[in-house]
Amino acid sequence: MSVLGRGDIKTAARIVVKVGSSSISGANVSQISPLVDALAEAHARGAEIVLVSSGAIATGMPYLNLEERPTDLATQQAAASVGQNLLIFRYQDSLRRYSIIAGQVLLTAGDLENPSHRSNARRAMNRLLGLRILPIVNENDTVATHEIRFGDNDRLAALVATLISADLLVLLSDVDALYTRPPHLPGAERIPHIAAGDRLPGVEFGASASGVGTGGAGTKVSAARIAAEAGTAVLVTSTGLVAQALRGDYVGTWFEPTPRQ
């Protein structure tokens, strides 16, 4: 079976886009509007779009008078409870310009490990997409535990892309692409293309430095491999380049997918 190539992005029928906390909360909350513009453009050409959005805890923090991401589980859950409501409101408020309705989908790791729950989640997502609803997915932080959770939303996005057999997964961050080492270090070189099965020997990846998120380049590579090995093409780029990415411009780092059986 053929796989999606870089030049075929505009023909992708089903796309999952993941955005991180630091890109759409705090000082960057204004990035929600251009992100929605890009999603709506792809939606208008007929693509089915799923947004996996972090940011519930970060969005809720100011309302709990927290200056730093809480470390204890109970406070994380409280911040997520407040923040998730506000986050969905902000997305729906922006989507209203395009007459697009959002549907909230909150998942735990257990939901995708339990066959019955996994089947239910797939059925619900497929139905939402069939109705031209734009599902907004996040980990259910209010009930998640340290022992049973996705760990980061890059992995959640990869598992969602696999669950619904997406053609393309776009992982957004604060950096325009993956580099051979953290991009602020001397000698860092952009990686434009990663072939299926390439383990990237000698490449160094750093962790998130935003202070509000949990991901980093390493988690994006791990997530991209999950999706690519399941047959979903993956593009890693910055939130500011999402419109160009969804139009098929040659931005970011492309993970070539393994052909689906």
Q: Greatest CA span in the chain, whole angstroms?
A: 53
pLDDT attached to residue 231: 95
Whole-number pLDDT of residue 118: 94
Nearest to 167 by CA among 31, 1, 41, 37: 1
Residue numbers in the known binding site for substrate are: 54, 141, 153
**Residue closest to 102 by CA, chosen among 93, 112, 111:** 93
Which residues does the annotation place in the binding site? 18, 54, 141, 153, 173-174
Domain boundaries in the chain?
Answer: 6-255
- As a whole number, mean pLDDT of residues 144-155 equals 68
Q: Which helix (H) or strand (E) holds 66?
A: none
Give mean pLDDT, residues 109-133.
94
Q: What is the pLDDT of residue 113?
A: 87
Residue 169's alpha-carbon distances to 2, 43, 122, 163, 196, in angstroms, are: 17, 15, 17, 12, 15
Evaluate if residue 211 carries a pLDDT over 90. no
* pLDDT at residue number 111: 87
Would you say 72 and 141 are in contact if contact means Cβ atoms under 8 Å apart?
A: no
Q: Indicate the pTM of the whole model.
A: 0.92
Fold entry, domain 6-255: Carbamate kinase (3.40.1160)
Q: pLDDT, tens digit, for every residue of 169-199?
A: 999 988 999 998 888 889 889 999 999 888 7
Residue 215: per-residue pLDDT: 54
Tell how many helices (H) and how many strands (E) occur in the chain.
9, 10
Map tokens 């325009």 to a residue.
Answer: 176
Q: Report whether pLDDT(261) > 80.
A: no
Q: φ and ψ at 136, to 5 degrees?
A: -115, 115
Q: For residues 37-44, give the mean pLDDT.
A: 98
DSSP per-residue string spanning 77-128: HHHHHHHHHHHHHHHHHHHGGGT--EEEEEE-HHHHHSHHHHHHHHHHHHHH
The region that residue 42 occupies, defined by phi over 0 for left and psi between -120 and 50 for alpha, beta otherwise, is alpha
- The partner residues of 106 in beta bridges, in order of sequence, read 138
Q: Which residues are annotated as a binding site for ATP?
A: 18, 173-174
